[in-house]
Chains A and B, each alone.
Chain A
């Protein structure tokens, strides 16, 4: 059965997605920039050692640690928080698409989109891959 004139057209959904993406990127860039200034004041005069690889400390690599250290106003953690917001932006776009397809009663694509969303959430939360 054809859906009766959906309230959410593809075009309208894409417009909302465009706004969503731009907002996410803007917020992420502002957070990273704002935290970058105190970060450089703190670490700016140190010698860089990026040629030697060592994993980032725990509080800069897992969501809970990043949030906790950001509340404690650690500039490095707030940069990571901005990066998390950036990573979350396409995830939010996929999550929104689930609703957009549901509005159109396009159940096949609701399932397709849920699979993509599940994969994204898995990669963000799996700490031992």
Chain B
């Protein structure tokens, strides 16, 4: 196989990953690293670099559509980006010193968690009614459009959310993914933001978080143009197409199938990490 053929295959693989990722809400970036390492034998460092680039592309590409709906909370997003960018830079720096087999094992665990998080049923619990001191100080409370007009909501547990966001940033920097599942965990479960607000705000933040670690990866020489080109264009094209399909598609079955695939990839990453397939 020469570079031309490899680029074609990578483009098609990334296109499918981006399409399924945006249709199911898991994000295309999450399967890029397993696709490149397990499928094409690419070194995991190059794979993480290419994945980060695709994550920035999808986040920024999708944001334009989200913004119109008015769900995201820019203050919550911006405040928490302090935590995610510090985490992302720290993660990108630490990644250079971690054993590759460890990175693969952590990656597998995160894939398993992401798969679980995507099939878990979610219902908006009744949010807090009492104002939270820190949230009020930071003016984090907001409102979002519903069928019954604008619905105000309150934010709580800011320190817990901030710490979880730091973790999401570290994972993003080490693994080259958007860490959407952890971001939603922080806003959805800890800070009790309504589901739609946390999802769209998370998407908004993913690009900024990934950009913070991408700078470190680029400077360190982990981003290869020949790999990044087909992966970025493929994932971007796939996710934009997926977003267009989303309106009319019945995604429940698809999401379960894709989650199983993601979980299996997670197990395979862990297995390969344990048997030492990823060596320096």
Residue in A17, A53, A62, A109 whose Cβ sees the most chain B Cβ within 10 Å: A53
CB proximity of A90 to chain B, nearest CB, Å: 4
Select one of A47, A108, A109 contacting B2, CB under 8 A: A47
Closest to B65 in A: A18
Nearest chain B residue, comparing its CB with the CB of A116:
B81
Give A1-59 interface residues, CB cut-off 8 Å to B.
10-11, 13-15, 17-19, 21-22, 24-25, 28-29, 32-33, 35-36, 39-40, 43-48, 50-53, 55-57
How many of chain B's residues touch chain A, expressed as a range? Answer: 35 or more
> Quick check: A33 and B89 within 8 Å, CB to CB?
no
Given contacts A116-B78, A116-B81, contact A123 B212 (CB under 8 A): yes
- The one of B57, B222, B223, B236 in contact with A80, judged by C-beta atoms closer than 8 angstroms, is B223
From A11, A45, A90, A125, contact of B208 by CB (8 A): A90
**One of B3-11, B152-160, B241-249, B259-267 contacting the partner:** B3-11
Interface bits B191-217 vs A (CB < 8 Å: 1, else 0): 000000000000000011011111110
Q: Name A's interface SS.
A: helix
A113 contacts across to B, CB distance below 8 A: 78
Is A112 positioned at the interface, with any CB of B under 8 Å from its CB? yes
A18→B226 CA distance, assembly (Å)? 29
A21 touches which of B4, B61, B229 (Cβ 8 Å):
B61
Question: Closest residue to B36 on the A side, CB-wise?
Answer: A50
Residue numbers in B under 8 Å from A50 (CB-CB):
40-43, 46, 224, 226-227
A-B contacts besides A32-B233, A44-B2, A55-B221, 4 pairs, CB < 8 Å:
A87-B56, A90-B208, A112-B79, A123-B212
Chain B residues with a Cβ under 8 A of chain A: 1-4, 6-7, 40-43, 45-46, 53, 56-57, 59-61, 63-68, 70, 72, 74-75, 78-79, 81-82, 85-86, 88-89, 92-93, 138-139, 207-208, 210-216, 218-230, 232-233, 236
- Give 28 pairs: A residue, B residue, CB < 8 Å, sorted on A: A11-B70, A17-B67, A18-B63, A21-B60, A22-B64, A25-B60, A32-B233, A33-B229, A35-B229, A39-B226, A46-B2, A48-B1, A50-B226, A50-B227, A61-B218, A80-B218, A87-B56, A87-B211, A89-B56, A91-B211, A93-B207, A112-B82, A116-B208, A120-B215, A123-B89, A124-B215, A124-B218, A129-B89
CB-based closest 7 A-B pairs:
A55-B221, A44-B4, A18-B67, A79-B225, A124-B215, A56-B221, A123-B215
